[in-house]
Amino acid sequence: MDHKESPIYSLLFGTLRLRAVLGVWILAFSFSVSVHSQDFESKVAPLLVKRCVECHQGKDPSGGLSLVDQEGLWAGGKSGKVINKNDLVKSYLLERIETGEMPPKKQGQSQKLPQKEIELIKEWISQGAPFPKDRTLDYFERTNELRAGRDWWSLQTLSKPKIPKVEKGTQPSHPIDAFIRSKLDKEGYEPAPKADRRTLIRRVYYDLIGLPPSEKEILAFEQNRNPRAWENVIDFLLAKPQYGERWARYWLDLARYADTSGYERDQEKPFAWKYRDWVVRAFNQDMPYERFILEQLAGDEIPNRTQDSVTATGFLRLGTWNDEPNDLRDYQYERLEDLVHTTSTAFIGLTVKCARCHSHKFDAITQEDYYRMGSAFWTGPVSSGGNLGGPTADQLGFKDVLGWTDVRSISTPLHILKDGERHKPLNKVVPASLSSIPTLERKFDPPPKGAKTSQRRLQLAQWISDSKNPLTWRVIVNRVWQHHFGKAIVRTPNNFGFLADPPTHPQLLDWLASEFRNSGGRLKALHKLILTSETWQQSSLHPQAQRIELKDSSNRLWWRAERRRLDAEALRDSLLLSSQELDLKMGGPSFKPTISKEALEGLSRKSSAWNASKPEDQKRRSLYIFLKRGLLPPMLTAFDLSDPTLSCGERDVTTVPTQALALLNNQFVHVRSQSLAQLIEAKKLTPEDQIRSVWSNVLKRQPSQEEIELARNHINVQLKTFSDFQEWKKSESQKPDATVDPKSLTFHFRADRAILNDKKSKRVKSLPDLSGHSHRSHQSIAARQPLLKKDGFGGQATLMFDGKDDFLKIDGQLLDRQECTILTVVNDDQGRGHREILSNWNGKAGNSGTSLFLGLTNESTVRWSDHYSDAGQISNRSQPFILTSVNGGGKAAVYQNSSVLMSGAMLSQRRLDTDWVIGTQGNIDGEYWKGGIAEIRVYNRALTDAERSFVEAELAERYKISLTPLKKQKKLSPETLALASLCHVLMNSNEFIYID
Amino acid sequence: MNKKRSHSAYFPCGQSRREFVWQMGSGFAGLALTDLLTQDNFFNQLAHAETKKETNSSFNPLAPKPPQVKPRAKACIFLMMNGAPSQVDTFDYKPILKKYAGKSLPKDKKYINSGGRRVGYLTPEWRKFKRGGKSGLLVSDYFPHVRQHADKLCVLNSCHTDSHAHGSALVAMNTGKTFIGRPSLGSWAVYGLGNENDSLPGYVVILDKRGGPISGQPNWASGFMPATYSGTLFRPVGDPILDLKGPQHLSRQAQRSQLDLLAQLNQKHLDQRPGAHQLAARIKSYELAYRMQAATPEAVDLSQESEHTLEMYGIGKKPTDEYGRNCLIARRLVERGVRFIQLYSGGGHLEETWDAHAGIESNHGQHAPEVDQPIAALLTDLQQRGMLDDTLIVWGGEFGRMPFSEGKNAPGRNHNPYGFSMWLAGGGVQGGINYGKTDELGFEAVENKIHLHDLHATILHIMGLDHERLTYFHQGRDESLTDVGGRVIKDILA
């Protein structure tokens, strides 16, 4: 079917052009209104359907008046009869229409019918309002200017159109080109010339695997004269595992994939990654599309289900999940909407969710249809308040899988809800397919005896994947086209309804869909089909671009290739590849990239919410990044990563300055450019060859002579700037900052200065304050005095606290300002629960939540006041260690043996005026330290890193603690930095960011 | 509490898209920055809406756009009291609570007991109410400074919302719905009106140092709209936005030489690709980014402010320093053309926010003094500069608190979505009035009830936008902030 010829097409798209013509026609028509009985079908019925039936139909018609059949018309409504038999032109129906009260106002604006329509109704009524006896009007019986009916193009049977014959020139050998050329011919345009081989190979690499070819691969292809060279490249790429990774990402957008649930707790969805890996495998194994559908919707219900097929049902588990909804009974309907919406948009390109409260305003989807589809999910855990909204492992039949299965009895009926409101149930819905495609409409059978599930999802999946379902196959080939061309044939890939963009080439869409369906639904064959067309191989430059753009700026005729920006993932992966750091390890749990502490400020639980993975794990492909709904990685969102709340069929492509800021300044990009610079330097090349190497690695080509000169000049300028900078740095660092100004030390406690209770006992009565500030530590009750162990940590004196009641009081207020550094030398002897080293907590004095303390909880979780109730995990707790906490200079941090455990924003305001204690929480009898404390130092400011390291080194030496060797960041020479600057510029260049 | 989904007067799905696009359309033409920023998908929408009309393929999605209705305010500052302040202790005086103190809430008052906490007894206000200004508006002693501006306040006593849980209620206050994934109020404002400063974001959010709000990012995200319209987190000290500075060795001069080389390479690349708008737009975006690196720190640089001003806002003093700074920055941002600013008071959880379960006095007694003087200073400052008429101030939390305690003699109060108070000031709203009422106990809104959709509709209206016509077409539906609900509270407009 060609839309140019179809009446729907002209209705929709001819309107603008025809408006003037229509006006004249309407005028003429209004004089010739006369309704004959045969006119009911051609004139009155369409009018009633278009204007009245939306409200006046169904079980609960508006005003009690149904206008779908003769009976309803004559019965009238709540206000009585609407047709006055005695005086037809005084009928209430006509009066309401003539006064413009009907149709009712919309958003305050009158919807009064055009005069010619009123005339038509008047004429009809005056003739006795003839309504054929057996005729029942159906709201969706046909498409009109306001909405699509069941005759809408995308709902029509899919058949394979003939390949058009082109009128001019030779007939293209490739079917796709025949479709494209025949339209271009009609408009009098030539397609763009074929792109050069370099452009082609780079484009196809990104298209299929999301990574660029190396310079070597490009050269090899450029020189390859084998006529099968192009096909070989395609086959080579389709066989690479990176193909599945690239195409899985598109599907994950549709499946609203994320690793967490969203909302306050934003819990991790355990094993969501197994679903991600399933999708990658499905693509790599070229799973037939029918199977791909069945497993995701009903992998638990299919015969001979496997752990793999159940993993695929993760598709239904990926939505957001709120563990604290306002009302759990309402919330189950929200979840139903998520499931209906995701399923219907992803697989059949219909916005079924719009029919939740009323029949769809634009498409042939009744309200009942919404609930029919909903019934497939209704027996699942939609009302579950636990298990992150899913089934238990027992119900699912597999452990460690994020899957879906039925958990409710099928006798729990799902009602259609008036206006979508729970407390207004209408009739029970009969589980069935959508009614939109009458030839395919079917009820869902009840499950066979002994079945564990309702098998409704299985039947829904079978209906969707039916070879006769006209939507499914059109929708998927449209998506594949979209990702190869940057735009789709139907430009709204998640919507094939009335508000959709019409297909640019409807026959081509149908041809592709039929071809794909008929050959087993194998995507790899479809890719190859598309990539071998001349249409795909066109250049993005067209000699007549300026002229054609005036007529077709959005390239609906496909007269050239679309230039595309790398998406967020391809960009990040390409950066890593440029510096030869990309780790192609596949699958497994997601990794967490380092996110700057500034970006973490948006989290309500700052310290515990994000623990970045080890640097070496962060070099994997972006597909494997942990997607936390409450904090999507800023680097990815800057480049239009889609919001994972709703199924996304097409990402935005924006060009905003924050992207420039990210590429110019983000640490990630700098580290890449510096790594590459170091790599190149290590090769001991001449300056010119260094430049060549930069070009080769980043842009995969050799620079021109002019470019070499520009680069050389840049390196020289930067070298001077960076050398000057390092000189300055050096002079700065020579300033004595390694020692610590003793004035800022406000408290110093050391076990070897302990004063014993009596000469015999080892119990400690008091200790002086070595800082000279008279903050004496003491305990008068002998039973609560810690014991002195003379050869404690590293042979040094250490106080041993029993974890039951031992503690020390401190005289005076240790701090008079928020900024501070606390260094302690301690060990933990299998302590449990909260336990403190130093604290000024005092519940009676109201200093809860605002006190300052340092201690542990659970096995090895550090607490740095209530502000950071999880300030990282210590290791080897039974061995002596140095625990340091810092607050000030805009940040707070905790270190064990000089290695950082936590770094975040400063503590919120602390109250410092309550009593200070060692080895307990404060004035309650509890939270006692169990283990040794050898030394505590408190400074009234945040020590610099150098100062802190200095003190820690001193303590480490004294107590024979080996400090975690600080990974010394290799200081880069000005030469390296200058070369890195060049790499960095190329990584920002349009040549790098765009695909021609 | 269920919001009506149906409303015979409204046909929510798909009515007004073309009208709106038509309105927007005129704003896109003829702007200096037309080709600076492209937003292709948004453009597709336009092209799609305009059917066959061909349009230039690049424009600035943040360019200023003409309002839909007569605007009363150019900008909005939303003072978000995260955690939910108690209305009967602040702006909703209920003298009868003294009489009923120690009694239970009448049985016929139905509610969901949030978090299943202990249900205690009716408890009168924890600090005295006093009259302020000529209007004699009643404000409690938690806000003595704000009380001095009583004649500017339009106190909305009859607010109610759709959730009793912080996470979803806060998201609702920001996006209209209790579930995440929808554009926030500020996103709608910049989508509808654009931004008047091309070196600063149009929608700025400053969080409390104690932490972000529950549910995080979705509170200021743009949902299904392009990310361009999402809120930008601003840090009040140093570099306000992410990635504003590179490594230390890369001085401005060194970066300039990078940008010069980049421009040369990009230009050669562009020359070989004539007519490539998107490439040209990206080249320009780098220059804009370079300017932003200077403009954004300037916006938060308070050294340009007088001693007197700093003192007025309580900057440099506890406990007002942080919020004072944020309020002053908000004024500077409004001066620079930023459209929508949200300042959080309270961050993280429980007592670090206004979530006064443990005690009204211990909690509000901490948080109110942090914001009282700064907010009063903001009102004074805006008025002195003649900016108050053009700036709408909104104050409030995600819901209110119960008039009863959480147990015998317990000093805190539980969540209350059924009735709570917010206030507006400036932006052409009437001052010195209370609008709407809760019942005599302050439990639920009973008169002139204001659902959060009504509040949103009113805020948009004041900013020059019609909540019914401000729509964004997404997946088959014209989405709007207020969905099928919302009414503009015209009675409060001056």
pLDDT digits (tens, 9 = 90+) for B117-166: 889 999 999 999 999 999 999 999 999 999 999 999 999 999 999 999 89
Q: Using the predicted structure, report yes or no on whether residue A607 has a pLDDT greater than 80.
A: no
| Identity of the residue in B228, B264, B348 whose CB atom sits nearest the CB atom of A654 | B228
Q: Which of A578, A572, A568 is nearest to A675 (CA)?
A: A578
| Backbone phi, psi, residue B348, to 5° | 85, -130
Question: In Å, how far is A495's CA from the nearest CA of chain B?
Answer: 6
Q: What is the mean pLDDT of residues A539-557?
A: 92
| Backbone phi, psi, residue A751, to 5° | -60, -30
pLDDT (0 to 100) of residue B145:
98
Q: Contact A641/A651 with Cβ under 8 angstroms?
A: yes
Verify whether the Cβ–Cβ distance A654 to B55 is below 8 Å: no
Verify whether the Cβ–Cβ distance B40 to A653 is below 8 Å: yes
B134: number of Cβ within 10 Å = 10
3-state DSSP assignment of residue A958: helix
Amino acid, res. A661 = L
Q: How far apart are CA B311 and CA A969, in angstroms?
A: 44
Verify whether the Cβ–Cβ distance A565 to B216 is below 8 Å: no
pLDDT (0 to 100) of residue A813:
92
Contacts of B251 in chain A (CB under 8 A): 721, 725
What's the pLDDT tens digit per position in A680-731?
999 999 999 999 999 999 999 999 999 999 999 999 999 999 998 888 777 6
Q: Which of A374, A351, A375, A373 is nearest to A363 (CA)?
A: A351
**CATH code for residues B75-236+341-365+390-464:** 3.40.720
Dig out the tokens for B218 from the structure: 């979705």
Verify whether the Cβ–Cβ distance A711 to B273 is below 8 Å: no
N- to C-terminal Cα separation, chain B: 30
To which H or E segment does residue B479 belong?
A: strand B477-479
Q: Using the predicted structure, report yes or no on whether residue A943 has a pLDDT greater than 60.
A: yes
Identify the burial level of A679 via C-beta atoms within 10 angstroms of its C-beta, where 0-12 means exposed, 13-18 middle and 19 or more buried: middle
Q: What is the mean pLDDT of residues B206-219?
A: 85
What's the pLDDT tens digit per position in A443-478?
999 999 888 999 999 999 999 999 999 999 999 999
Q: Using the predicted structure, report yes or no on whether residue A194 has a pLDDT greater than 90.
A: yes
> Is A20 touching B (CB cutoff 8 A)?
no
pLDDT (0 to 100) of residue B6:
32
Q: Using the predicted structure, report yes or no on whether residue B326 has a pLDDT greater than 90.
A: yes
> Is A908 touching B (CB cutoff 8 A)?
yes
Which residue would you say has higher pLDDT here, A17 or A188?
A188
Contacts of B42 in chain A (CB under 8 A): 652
Q: How far is CA A424 from CA A417, A421, A655, B397, in A?
A: 6, 6, 47, 32
pLDDT (0 to 100) of residue B117:
85
Q: What is the mean pLDDT of residues A436-448?
A: 95
A503: left (phi over 0), alpha (psi -120 to 50) or beta: beta
A23: number of Cβ within 10 Å = 10
Verify whether the Cβ–Cβ distance B40 to A661 is below 8 Å: no
Q: Which of A759-768, B322-331, B377-386 has the lowest mean pLDDT?
A: A759-768
Q: Which of A979, A994, A824, A845 is nearest to A894 (CA)?
A: A824
pLDDT (0 to 100) of residue A402:
97
Which residue would you say has higher pLDDT here, A433 or B248?
A433
pLDDT (0 to 100) of residue A36:
59
Token look-up 């400011």 returns A941
What's the pLDDT tens digit per position in A55-91?
898 888 899 999 999 899 999 999 899 998 888 888 9
pLDDT (0 to 100) of residue A965:
56
Q: Using the predicted structure, report yes or no on whether residue A16 has a pLDDT greater than 60.
A: no
- Angle (nearest 5°) at CA A751 between A750 and A757: 130
Contacts of B213 in chain A (CB under 8 A): 604
Q: Which residue of A has its CA nearest to B220?
A: A602
Contacts of B348 in chain A (CB under 8 A): 604-606, 867, 908
pLDDT (0 to 100) of residue B242:
87
pLDDT (0 to 100) of residue A13:
40
Q: How confident is the model at residue A820 (pLDDT cuts 50, 70, 90)?
A: very high
Q: Using the predicted structure, report yes or no on whether residue A744 has a pLDDT greater than 80.
A: yes
A266: left (phi over 0), alpha (psi -120 to 50) or beta: left
Q: How confident is the model at residue A969 (pLDDT cuts 50, 70, 90)?
A: low
pLDDT (0 to 100) of residue A869:
83
Percentage, residues of chain A above pLDDT 90:
68
Q: How confident is the model at residue A15 (pLDDT cuts 50, 70, 90)?
A: very low
What's the pLDDT tens digit per position in A213-259?
999 999 999 999 999 999 999 999 999 999 999 999 999 999 999 99
Q: What is the mean pLDDT of residues B260-270?
A: 97
Question: In Å, how far is B152's CA from the nearest CA of chain A?
Answer: 32
Q: How confident is the model at residue A734 (pLDDT cuts 50, 70, 90)?
A: low
Q: Using the predicted structure, report yes or no on whether residue B52 has a pLDDT greater than 60.
A: no
Count Cα atoms within 13 angstroms, Cβ side, for B456.
29
What's the pLDDT tens digit per position in A805-817?
999 999 999 998 8
| Highest mean pLDDT of the ranges A991-995, B108-112, B202-206 | A991-995
> Is A56 touching B (CB cutoff 8 A)?
no
| Backbone phi, psi, residue B245, to 5° | -130, 145
Q: How far is CA B355 from CA A202, A629, A989, B82, B365, in A?
A: 56, 24, 49, 8, 12
What's the pLDDT tens digit per position in A90-101?
899 999 999 999
Residue A323, C-beta contacts closer than 8 angstroms, at least 6 positions apart: A261, A263, A264, A265, A267, A385, A388
The structural domains of chain A, ordered by start, are 33-146 (no CATH), 288-465 (no CATH), 564-656 (no CATH), 670-735+972-995 (no CATH), 742-942 (2.60.120.200)
Q: How far is CA A34 from CA A15, A37, A51, A409, A692, in A?
A: 25, 10, 19, 58, 83
Q: Contact B460/B10 with Cβ under 8 angstroms?
A: no
Q: Using the predicted structure, report yes or no on whether residue A738 has a pLDDT greater than 60.
A: no
- Domain ranges (residues) in chain B: 75-236+341-365+390-464
Q: Is the backbone peptide bond immediately before B319 cis, with ω within 30 degrees of 0?
A: yes
Verify whether the Cβ–Cβ distance B228 to A656 is below 8 Å: yes
Residue B100, C-beta contacts closer than 8 angstroms, at least 6 positions apart: B122, B441
User: What is the three-state SS of B338-385?
Assistant: CCEEEEEECCCCHHHCCCCCCCHHHHHHHHHHHHHHHHHHHHHHHHHC
What's the pLDDT tens digit per position in A505-525?
999 999 999 999 999 999 999
Question: In Å, how far is B375's CA from the nearest CA of chain A?
Answer: 20
Verify whether the Cβ–Cβ distance B243 to A664 is below 8 Å: yes
What's the pLDDT tens digit per position in A158-169?
999 999 999 888
Q: Which of A640, A630, A483, A674 is nearest to A571 (CA)?
A: A640
Q: Using the predicted structure, report yes or no on whether residue A125 has a pLDDT greater than 60.
A: yes
pLDDT (0 to 100) of residue A14:
36
Q: Using the predicted structure, report yes or no on whether residue B13 has a pLDDT greater than 80.
A: no
Q: Is the backbone peptide bond immediately before A103 cis, with ω within 30 degrees of 0?
A: yes
Verify whether the Cβ–Cβ distance A890 to B237 is below 8 Å: yes
Q: The pTM is what?
A: 0.76
Verify whether the Cβ–Cβ distance B13 to A666 is below 8 Å: no
Percentage, residues of chain B above pLDDT 70:
87
pLDDT (0 to 100) of residue B219:
93
A535: number of Cβ within 10 Å = 24
Work out the mean pLDDT of chain A and round it to a whole number. Answer: 90
| Backbone phi, psi, residue B239, to 5° | -80, 115
| Identity of the residue in A643, A994, A996 whose CB atom sits nearest the CB atom of B181 | A643
Percentage, residues of chain B above pLDDT 90:
63
Verify whether the Cβ–Cβ distance B475 to A357 is below 8 Å: no
What's the pLDDT tens digit per position in A403-432?
999 998 887 899 999 888 899 999 999 999
Verify whether the Cβ–Cβ distance B211 to A604 is below 8 Å: yes
Q: How far apart are CA A79 and CA A769, in angstroms?
A: 93
